[in-house]
Amino acid sequence: MAEHPDSALVRKGFEAWNRGDMETVGSLMTADCTHHAPGESQVSGHFKGRDNIIGMYGQMFELTGGKMRVELDGIYVDGRGHAVAANKFFAERGDRGIEMKGALIFTIVGGKISDIDECVEDIEQSDAFWGKAE
C-alpha cells in the first residue's frame, strides 16, 4: 500500500528537520503558515509566517547546540488535509536533557503545510527545559 501524500509530506519534513535542513522544511510550508507552540518558554507562542517559524526552529538548534532530534512514532491522516504525527523529542541544553512524547497536528492545503499545532506530554517540563521568554 502506497503512503498517503500527506503522510509523505510530513515524513519528509521530519527527516529534513532532523538533518537541520531548514531550506527543505521551509519549502514544505505555505508562506503564511502558522506554528502554535505550547507553554510560556522562549520557543512558545504563535509563529506566523514561514520565516518566523524557521527562525524559531533555528533558535531551538542554537539553544541546544544542535543536540536534538525527533523520533517519529507514526503519522495518521484523515484524507481531508489533516495529519497527526506522534513523536518523541530528545534534546540537551547545558547540563539538562529532555525526552518527551508529543504530537504535531498539521493542516495541509494544496500539498503544503499551512498550520502546525504542537502538543507536548508535559508543558511545565518543556518550559523548564527551554527557559522562560526574556
DSSP 88-109: EEEEEETTEEEEEEEEEEEEEE
Domains of the chain listed by start with CATH number? 5-130 (3.10.450.50)
Q: What is the pLDDT of residues 35-64, one digit of tens each?
A: 999 999 999 999 999 999 999 999 999 999
In tens digits, the chain (134 residues) has pLDDT values of: 789 999 999 999 999 999 999 999 999 999 999 999 999 999 999 999 999 999 999 999 999 999 999 999 999 999 999 999 999 999 999 999 999 999 999 999 999 999 999 999 999 999 999 998 76
Specify the pTM: 0.94
Cβ within 8 Å of residue 107, ≥6 positions away = 81, 82, 113, 114, 115, 116
